[in-house]
Each structure stands twice: as structure tokens, then as C-alpha cells.
Structure 1
Amino acid sequence: MSTLSTAVEARTDLLGPYLPKRFLRNGTIQTLLSRLQSADDLLVNQDEQPILFDAGADATGMEAERSVRLLGYYTGHKSPGPRRGLVMTIHGWEGCSHSSYNLVVGSALVRAGYDVVRLNLRDHGPTHGLNRGLFYVTLLEEVLAATRQVATLAADLPFYILGASLGGNFALRLALAHAAEPIPGLAALLAINPVLNPDRSSYLLDSHAWIRIYFRRRWLASLHAKQSLFPDSYDFAAVEKISSIRAMTDWMIQRYSPYPDVESYFAAYAIPPARLTELTVPITIVTAADDPIIPADDFYQLPRHPLLNIHVLASGGHVGYTDLFPLRHLLAPMVLDILDGLS
């Protein structure tokens, strides 16, 4: 029996087999360790094929005459057995298709017999020049359009979606979109440390100086790349003087989005607990009680539902789940165990 096998009505649990050594059970340490890689974690990069997806109309209004383009990377399974299905991964904010957790999990998946597509959200990875309009988390329709195209690559095999952090938020919203208009072949979704309440998480992110500095540096680099490609459309000089992520977001929203303020923007992609009563496809959520920016009690407020299974680990940080001596990423076997339990 799978070590993750639980009754579907079980809302939360603590999973001993996937806990790091005691001295590593700290949310900050776990979050930092998530960036470590080994040579085995690069398998998914071998023979990867870039795919440019036509993601439909541009909701930003910046390029009404052309379709949105999103970049993904396809890697076929690398096991001697038959294909077991296709998994599409969605990274977190300022991550990309080649983020550490994507490589770790993607390599484990192709080794276990799954094909993998690692999708880049707009303005993430090497994609700043593909679309003039800026990335907003509310641009779900373009991600949904790309997802429907990825689903066709699964043919008659199961199609799974795996999202981490902000990608987990996208996964949950894709599940709700699936309830309204089914995504072909979608068998299940996995959300790792998903953002449920971005308003609350923004305050927590800013309260941890090292996390704030890390994301601020990455976001400014992304904005500089965008401005250099489209200097006639953007001037981000003023935002460089703002120290907090929340205030930076508010500045950006008021100048370049249809939302009046940051509160309205966050509310537009928050996951109200009641919405998850609409599920029509199995969802597994994995999170950690010591995640420094995604509060565990957000998940205790979610409704019971036969298609919703929630695992709250005692430690794992924000998409960390890493052990040392030797280096061992716990997220990859967790994901495989969950998929085994679904098949």
C-alpha cells in the first residue's frame, strides 16, 4: 500500500516517511535547501523539446492583433516500461521550467515512466520577449488554453497537472475551470504549498527579510528584462525605490493593470474555501506546517470533499522537503506515491 494512501475523507495528516532529519525540521532551513540539486536531478533536461503554445487572445490588451505565446519543454519518459501518462508542471512566482523543484520532480517522473511538460508562465524563464503585456496571476485563460493543448499530447493516457507555490494556485483554479468545461483526459491535480490567500501571504513574505530580498531581486531582474525589450511600453525606475513586495505590487497594479489596487488584485486570484465544493476531479494538496509564507491554518479552513485530499507535513518549508547526509529530495517520491495511489 502506498505510504500516502489515506481515506479520501481524511482532511489532514502528518506523513512520517517524508520528514527530514530532526535538525533540518525548520521552515527557513527547508526553504533554503530546496535549491540544492544532484546530477540525477538533471535527467529531465536530456532530449527536452521546446514547444511554443498558442494561448489565445491577449487579455492584457497590449497585443489585440496576435495570440499569446507560452513556452513549455517536453521530455518523453525514460523508463524501459510503457508510458504511464503525461504530467504538466507549473512553477511558482519568479520560478521557471528549469527551477530546482521542477528538475527534481520532473526527473523522477520521466524515470518512473511519465512524459513531462514543464510550462513557463508569461514573463518567466526565457520568455519576456514573447508577449508585450506583463504577467499577472489573473491571466488564467491563457494558461488554460495552453493546458488544453498539452492535454492532447497525452493521447489516451492519463493527464495530470502538478503546480507548486503560485503554480499550485494555478492548478486549483484550473481544477475549477475544468468543472465548468472539462480539460480532455485530466485525471487528477497535485498542488504543492499552493497560495490560497495571497493578501495574507504578501505580508508574511515581506516579514521575512531574506525571502523578501530574494524575491525582490528576482522580480526587479525580470522587470529590467521586460523594460529592455519593450522600452516604449514600460518604465520601472520608480519601483526600484520601493522596498516591500506588497508595495511594489501595488505600484505595478495601479499603473499597468485593470485593478484599482493590490487588494483587488489579490482577491481576484484568491481561492475562497467554498469554491472547492465545486470540484469534479481529484485534487491532492501537500503543504508544510512550517511554511514561512503559506500558513497551514489556511488549509484547515477548506471544506470536506470526496475529491479533495490534504496532507500537512510537520516540516518541509516552502516547497523544500529536503533531507541531507545524503542529499535526498522528499518531494519527488511523495509525488510518485500520490500518482501510484491514483492509478
Structure 2
Amino acid sequence: MNSFAPPVLFRNPHLQSIAASIKLRRPLVRGRAAAMLRAGREMIVDAGDGVRLQGFYSPQPDGPNKGLVILIHGWEGSSDSMYLVSSAGHLYNQGLNVFRLNLRDHGESHHLNPGLFHSCRIDEVTGAVKRICADLSGGGKTFLAGFSLGGNFALRVALRAPGRGFGLDKVVAVCPVLHPPTSMASLEKGWFVYHHYFIRKWKQSLRKKQALFPDIYDFGDAAIFKSLSSITAHMVERYTDFPDMLTYLKGYAITGDVLTGLTVPAHIIASLDDPIIPSLDYKNLARPQSLTLTLTDQGGHCGFLTGPGMRSWVDMTMAGLICRG
């Protein structure tokens, strides 16, 4: 399946990746998502073991709905990221209740937990999704979708859901992080704009955490922020129980046989020209019967914009997958 065919001017992977989040797109996306945003209310979710995660719930007006969909943003994104709001608004307009979940230390949630975010905190995300399903699904269908690192989390949650005693009707992952060591290499060796962007965003987040918990964290040394590798190595060494950076990075990889036991119906949407997720990693991905894959030639990283109107092909594709589910 490869039905995404953008105009010639929108086939550059960097244009796709960047345009999906530029400020120019913001009024267009928020205008189309206005009903979802108006209905949204903040909720603090008990994720278990004393962990609290922030989210925003947009229920349909009184009357029937098509189920509940929980959306998870990418690394250093948030519930207000343009790609997430775009999909959330479209799904809401199709009749679904929508919950936009913030990962720990994303959005305005740094104050909720003293512990620092890292990508192996799968138990709390699984716990949060379970709680949201229990409290808000009303016994109806429940869906989970994520972008980039959020797509990685969504697939890992789906893998754990049966053992944690809750069901998901379908999971959709857009450009999920597959093998973190190769994704980090892509960021550090590829176009410098991505590397600088994530260093800047992560630095802001870590300094914010330090300001809230000065007795726990110290990110004052500028040398820490030379590269993503140097920041990761510092975090792992000082603030986690992982023996080294590579062990940590492999800890949230979903390549190899990791997804072999996946039973929840899941669908991955990704592009071969993604500048962050190497397409070769898909050759090392287990393919259980429950997992289907759409790989397009163009789309960049979580882009898939159809043209100057800045609409997302992913929004329509995701809605089709979920509403059929």
C-alpha cells in the first residue's frame, strides 16, 4: 500500500518533516480542530506507583460516539504539537472521543513527578493508558495512536496490554522509533537542523526540571550539551540505573523479535525517505499476523502533507483505520 502522492514541491523529506510543525500551519490546524480544542479539559492521570501524567480529554457532545482514541506525541513534543492536534481534531470531527496524553516532563508537566523522563518508562505509560481506558471508554471501543517516540510507546503498550488486563481494539504508530541507536546516529550524522533542534529542546526541558528540583538535578555544565550522545550518556550515568548508554537505548528498541508476541491489531505508517528513522530498520522488525505496515515513498518524518493547504494524509488514513476497527 503506497497511496500517498504529494505534489512535486512537497516531495522533499525535510520540507515534509519541518512543515508539519511550522508556525504557519498552526492557525490552519487549530481552526480545523477548534471543536476538539473547545471540548478539551485537563486531566491528571494516576499512572500507578505514585506517577502522575497530564492529558487533555475532549469528549463528544451528548449522544453516541465511535469510541475513545488516546494519542501520544513524539519526543520533546506535547499534546499541543501540530501533528498531534491535527490528527486529534480530525478524529474528533469523525465522532471519536479524544485523549491527548503528555509523556512525563513534556508539555507543562515537569512539576508532576520528581523523577526524570526517559524512554524506558513504559510501565507508567501502560498504566496511564489502562486508567484512561477504565475511566473514559464507557465499555466502548478503545484505540491508541502515537507519533515517532509516541508510536514506539504505543506499540510497546499494545504488547503489554493483555498481560495488564485491558483491551485495545487497534493501535496505529506513525513513523515509530524502531532501533534508537540508529535513530540517534541519523540525528547526529544527518542534516544539522534536526540535531540542533533536539539539543535545544532537550536542554530547555532539563533546565526546567533542574529549576523545579534543584536538590536532585544539575545540568549547569555546558559541556553536557555538545551532542545528543553526550546528553544521553550524562543522563544515563547520573540519573538512571542503566549500566551504559547503549543498554538504555536498546531498552526501548522494538526491532528483532520484540513484537513477536503482539496480539492487538496494529498498523504502522511510515515513509522510506524519513530522515530520522532509517528505512533499513524495517527489515529487522518482527511481523506477527496482528501487525500491518504501510511504507510510502515520500512523507518525511511525521509529515505526509498533501500540499499547500497543509492537510495531513495521515489524519485521513488513521481515521480510516480506526473507524473501520
TM range (shorter): over 0.9
1:231 corresponds to which of 203, 211, 214: 214
User: Which SS does the other structure have where 2:111 is aligned?
Assistant: coil
Q: 1:14 aligns with which of 2, 25, 33?
A: 2
Aligned residue for 2:154, secondary structure, equals helix
1:192 shift after superposition = 0.5
- 1:220-255 CA-to-partner distances (Å, cap 9, x unmatched) read 111111111111111101255532112211111111
- State the alpha-carbon separation in 2 of the partners of residues 331 and 32 from structure 1: 15
For 1:76 and 1:316, the matched residues in 2 are separated by 30
Instruction: Return the structure number with greater helix share.
Output: 2
TM-score, length of structure 2 as denominator length: 0.93
| Kept in 2: contact 1:239–1:251 (CA 8 A) | no
- Counterpart for residue 115 of structure 2: 133
- Give the distance between the partners of 1:215 and 1:20, measured in 2 at CA: 27
Query: For 1:136 and 1:241, how far apart are their aligned partners in 2?
Result: 17
**What amino acid is aligned across from residue 315 of structure 1 in structure 2?**
Q
Task: Determine the structure 2 residue equivalent to 1:265.
Answer: 248
8 Å contact from structure 1 (residues 187, 281) kept in 2: yes
| Mapping 1:65-76, distance limit 5 Å | 67-76=50-59
**Residue 292 of structure 2 is aligned with which of 309, 314, 320?**
309
Structure 1 residues 210 and 43: CA distance shift in structure 2, 3 A: farther
Corresponding position of 1:122: 104
Runs (4 or more) in structure 1 with deviation over 6 Å come to none
Q: C-alpha separation between the residues in 2 aligned to 1:256 and 1:147?
A: 25
Structure-2 residue corresponding to 1:190: 172
CA deviation string 1:247-288 (max 9, x = no partner): 211111111111122101001111133122211110000001
Alpha-carbon distance in 2 for matches of 1:121, 1:24: 31
Asked whether 1:87 is paired with 2:69, we answer yes
> How many aligned positions are there?
317
SS of aligned partner of 1:116: strand
Structure 1 stretch displaced more, 129-138 or 80-89 = 80-89
1:157-172 equivalent positions in 2, closer than 5 A: 157-172=140-155
Does the aligned pair in 1 maintain the 2:199–2:225 contact within 8 Å? no
Q: Secondary structure at the match of 2:107?
A: coil
Could you state the TM-score of these two structures normalised by the residue count of structure 1? 0.89
**Identity across aligned pairs (percent)?**
36
Does the C-alpha gap of structure 1 residues 198 and 308 become closer, same or farther in structure 2, counting only changes over 3 Å? Answer: same
Secondary structure, aligned partner of 1:180: helix
| Larger relative contact order, structure 1 or 2 (CA cutoff 8 Å, min sep 6) | 1
The RMSD of aligned alpha carbons is 1.6
Question: In 1, distance between residues paired with 2:236 and 2:258?
Answer: 25
Check 1:325–1:295 CA distance in 2 against 1; reply closer, same or farther (3 A cut).
same
1:271 aligned partner, one-letter code: I
Q: 2:311 aligned with 1:328, yes or no?
A: yes
Contact 2:254–2:285 under 8 Å retained in 1? no
Displacement of 1:42 in angstroms is 3.9
Query: Contact 1:239–1:248 at 8 Å: present in 2 too?
Result: no
Q: In the superposition, relative to structure 1, how do residues 181 and 341 fare at CA in structure 2: closer, same or farther (>3 Å)? A: same
Alpha-carbon distance in structure 1 between the residues aligned to 2:311 and 2:172: 21
Q: Classify the secondary structure of the residue corresponding to 2:105.
A: coil
Shift of 1:127: 0.4
Q: 1:92 deviation in Å?
A: 0.7
| Contact persistence 2:75–2:149 (CA under 8 A) | yes
Matched, 1:204 2:181: no
